[in-house]
Each structure stands twice: as structure tokens, then as C-alpha cells.
Amino acid sequence: MESKEKGRYEGIKSEFVKKKLAESSWSNKQDRKYIDELMTVERAITVGPKDFASSIFYKTLERKYKNEYKSILRELDPERYNKLIIEEQEREKRFYESLRKDEEEAKVRERLMHDSWVNEGGKE
């Protein structure tokens, strides 16, 4: 009797994960775990979380496989991928602006301390 149910790995949606599967070995448990987790990332992108716990789990995998997540997202949801890239660029820009501001403030503090030092009779 033939099963009408698809095999687990026949449900892969992205070419990225299919390529990773082709590079993997069934006999290597780490390979299987990696592919299973990439398939879960696909589900997170296409279906989304069912509840709070699955949301946390999906976010954990998204962070663990940041580059893979982006590759799968670019393929399965290009609009969301573009938004993610824009958000990352804006976040990076804010980070460097904050860093630049902190450096400027440190220079001002250093100058004020120097001037105070000299004004109170300290040597250069």
C-alpha cells in the first residue's frame, strides 16, 4: 500500500534550501538537523508563528542562521527582504551617527579637562 503523504523533504519551497539539501548527507545527523532547521525558517517566513512560543523559536533560528534567513527571505518574500535590508541600513547609520557623536563628546570632555588642568596650574 502506497502512502499518500509526502515525504518530509518534498515540501522544501526555496531553491536555497534545496541546494543545501543537495550538498548534505543523510548519514550526517548535523546535516539533517541543519536542513530541518532551514525548513523551519521557511515555514516561519511563509506561514508565520502559531503562538508566542513558536514566535520565540523562529526568532532564535533567524538569529542563528542570519545569512541563510536572508537568502530564503529574498527568495520567498522579496518585499519583506527589501524592508529588512532598509531597516538594517538605517540601524547601521544610526549606530555610526551615535558613535561619531560619542567620539565628538569625548573630545570635548578631554578638551575641557585639559583646559581645567592647565588653568589650575598643571603642566601640558
Single-letter code of the amino acid located at 115 = D
CB 13 within 8 A of CB 76: yes
What end-to-end distance do the CA atoms of the chain give, in Å? 92
The pLDDT, as a whole number, for residue 101 is 94
pLDDT at 108: 94
What would the pLDDT profile of 99-116 be if each residue is shown by its tens digit? 999 999 999 999 999 999
The residue written with cell numbers 551615535 in the block is: 98
| Positions in the chain short of pLDDT 70 | 1-6
Domain spans, the chain:
12-76, 79-124
pTM attached to this predicted model: 0.73
What pLDDT, on the 0 to 100 scale, is given for residue 123? Answer: 86
How confident is the model at residue 124, as a pLDDT?
Answer: 87
Q: Measuring CA to CA, how many Å separate 50 from each of 17, 46, 59, 95, 104?
A: 22, 12, 13, 33, 47
Using CA atoms, how far apart are residues 21 and 13, in angstroms rounded to an integer?
12
